[in-house]
Structure 1
Amino acid sequence: MIHQPIILVVDDEPNNIEMLAGMLDDQYELRFAVSAQEALTAIKEMPKPDLILLDVMLPDMNGYAICERIKEDPATADIPIIFVTSLGDPEQEEKGFAVGGADYIVKPCRALSIKARIRNQLEMKRTRELLHRLAITDGLTSLANRRHFDEALKQEMQRLQRQGGQLSLVLIDVDFFKRFNDYYGHPAGDECLRRIAAVIATELRRPADLTARIGGEEFACLLPETSLAGAYIVAERIRQTVLSLKMPHQSSTISDYVTVSVGVATSSGTEAAHLYQRADIQLYIAKTSGRNCVVQDVALV
């Protein structure tokens, strides 16, 4: 089924709601709110709206203030907002753009005009989302890239310091990967990395977990609210599943097949760099103590 874009219409006048519904309900999934409080609640629902049509004059808060609230929240700041209002003077229009509105339409609305403006905003939103995904995605494996990982680690550490809890980091390195590339060629090496990435992505099932390719043959798993014991289980499962793929590796000195070494560390409030350093130390120990194994940190900082 093709997903219809979701539009939230915020207006306290039944005639206006009926008019907009008649114009748009054949192309979009419409939701409605008749007050600021209803609107702010509705945008938190999942899936969140793709676009908001917002009246300025509402009983409990004006539309400009609502727009500011929406744009201040990182979770909703990317939703385009089109003001649809009877306030047609230039000062009001300028204020609408100043608080983050994407467009400003004066009632009464012509169907062709409002449909065209909605299409333009949705197309621009799709383009921005595509560019953002490309900027944070590893082109070979489709996992998060190093840039995305670094930012996510920083944000998770900030959350940890505010709220407490635990954060685990798993670092994974493909054993003797340079030898693999030299023996089988770079196209085979790329396919090897893609298969390992698929294993990692499959083993991490929670929406909050992040999988990333952070180097040539190095991967990372960021596991919020996960204990050291829990992270070790995930890491060992990844190691075993990679081995079970039985990808031949004639140049390896430890196995006939491709293997990985894994380091695990958990934090309850240290700096991001410290957590990464500790996981990296465990990865180094795994690589220097035989490879094809998981080594976990002994301390919880």
Structure 2
Amino acid sequence: MNEPDFHRDPPLILIVDDEKTLRLVLRRAMEQEGYRVSEVGDGHQCLAFCTEQLPDIILLDAMMPVMDGFTCCAQLQERFGQKCPPVLMITGLNNQESVDRAFEAGATDYITKPIHWAVLRQRVRRLLHTHWVMAELHRKIEQERVLKAKLEEMNQELQRLVDLDGLTQIANRRAFDQALQQEWKRLAREQAPLSLILCDIDFFKAYNDTYGHQAGDECLKQVADILRKAAKRPADVVARYGGEEFVVILPNTSLRGAMQVAESIRSKLKSRAIVHEGSGVSKFVTLSCGVAGVIPPPKTTPDRLIAEADQALYKAKVEGRDRVVGNLVEV
């Protein structure tokens, strides 16, 4: 940590005293040290000055009319908190009660009258240095806090990108695997249903051959959008399973409920009427869906659920495509 350069950037000292003569003497003494100096005559003026501009240190007389130094110091602490500059209380009272009262009000240090000028200069210099060190420390802490927040934000964005399919902007296979494992364990504990929908775009190779890969990519995006809108709950996960295959994880959903979601997806795709002259079942792009549901048994894996959904999808294709077939997993 570098040392402060008070000569290049002189600190501002605020003198608060109702005695004009003492203010003048204090001003001269501080200016001889190279400091910038402002002065006010009472506590109210001190608070008003600090509201406009915070000095680097306040030399505050304890005994003043209207508002004494103890009250002024307490209000400074209340108003400015950690930003309050150090307060050096100047008091003619040299007893333990006055000293305790000064520190209770928030004074950083005190000095008694008659003022010992060498002591005053040393204490001002020490308080300014300490104040600068603390300000630098708070600044560095704030910088580290901001940097940490930015790094956390970047890490979250990186994690999001790692888990995202670049084309469709839905979850990728890696994210699907993680989400399924997580939901399987949770619902095994709760003994609640978990369902899976596997979707495959019918005759997608023919679509690519007919309209080109760019149109194929656009078709995949539209299907992903329909799936995303159909899986409305926060825990639902829509992912690209591979190629033209998609998958939907539906926690706390029975096989019957998942079948309804799958039919809704198929219906909404039909309503978009994406022309597909190369399809063997329709003039438009269609989906075949395999659905499986189970209450996960403890200490098992979701492999059986995936296999049953895959088998149901295969059955949907064999039976003529553009349909939903469901399998209830027997355990």
Unaligned runs of 5+ in 2: 1-76, 85-132
| Aligned residue in 1 for 2:201 | 174
Matched, 1:289 2:319: yes
Distance 1:180 1:210 in 2: 27
* Equivalence map 1:1-301=2 (5 Å): 19=81, 110-270=137-297, 271-301=301-331
Contact 1:266–1:300 (CA under 8 A) maintained in structure 2: no
Q: Which moved more, 1:150-159 or 1:131-140?
A: 150-159
Deviations 1:69-111 (A, max 9, x none): xxxxxxxxxxxxxxxxxxxxxxxxxxxxxxxxxxxxx978744
SS, match of residue 151 in structure 1: helix
**Alpha-carbon contact 1:201-1:211 (below 8 Å) kept:** yes
TM-score by length of 2: 0.58
Deviation at 1:126, TM superposition (A): 1.2
Q: Distance in 1 between matches of 2:167 and 2:81?
A: 48
Per residue, is there more helix in 1 or in 2? 2
Instruction: Determine which structure has more spread, i.e. the larger CA radius of gyration.
Output: 2
Tell me the amino acid that sits aligned with residue 282 of structure 1: A
Contact 2:294 2:328 in 1 (8 A): no
Deviation at 1:154, TM superposition (A): 1.1
CA gap 1:19/1:192 in 2 versus in 1, 3 angstroms:
farther
Gap change, CA 1:227 and 1:121, over 3 Å in 2: same
Is the CA contact (8 Å cut-off) linking 1:268 and 1:300 kept in structure 2? no
Report the residue type matching 1:148 in the other structure: A
Q: Relative to structure 1, is the Cα distance of residues 112 and 248 closer, same or farther in structure 2, using a 3 angstrom cutoff?
A: same
- SS in structure 1 at match of 2:285: coil
- Residue matched to 2:5: none
User: 2:9 maps to which residue?
Assistant: none
Counting matched residue pairs gives: 203
- TM-score where L is the length of structure 1: 0.64
Structure 1 unaligned runs (5+)? Answer: 1-14, 24-105
Quick one: percent identity of the two aligned structures?
43
DSSP-derived class of the 2:293 partner: strand
Distance across 2 between alignment mates of 1:203 and 1:161: 25
